[in-house]
């Protein structure tokens, strides 16, 4: 069972902008090798921090307008939202401690 939320135009506002907890968003694509490298890490963090953060995924091929709105030009890109605002951004495949460090101060 996935602990991640697939984000779309239909649910982005409710799941991210109105979230009571910080949201880590993974912008990815099926063909992206580095995205596949960090996917297990993102899933582990979603499980480890369940209830403290929400983890969402945006497929840039299917949700290009969301990616464009937030200036996503390279993937994977991770964004952390708190209270509807971007508070951290990381581009590229990075190790778990780096990803964890993006949101740790907000939980």
Residues taking part in catalysis? 32, 35
Crossing angle (nearest 10°) for helices 96-103 and 33-48: 50
Q: Is 60 helix (H, G, I), strand (E, B) or coil?
A: coil
Q: What angle do CA 56, 58, 63 make, to 5 degrees?
A: 145
Whole-angstrom distance, CA of residue 87 vs CA of residue 24 = 10
């Amino acid at each position: 069972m996935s602990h991640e939320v697939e984000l779309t135009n239909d649910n982005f506002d409710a799941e991210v902008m109105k979230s009571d907890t910080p949201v880590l968003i993974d912008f990815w694509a099926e063909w992206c090798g580095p995205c596949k490298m960090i996917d297990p890490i993102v899933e582990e963090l979603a499980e480890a921090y369940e209830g403290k953060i929400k983890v969402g995924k945006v497929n840039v091929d299917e949700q290009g307008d969301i990616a464009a709105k937030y200036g996503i030009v390279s993937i994977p890109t991770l964004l952390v939202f708190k209270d509807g605002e971007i508070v951290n951004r990381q581009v590229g495949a990075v190790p778990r401690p780096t990803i964890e460090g993006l949101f740790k101060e907000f939980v």
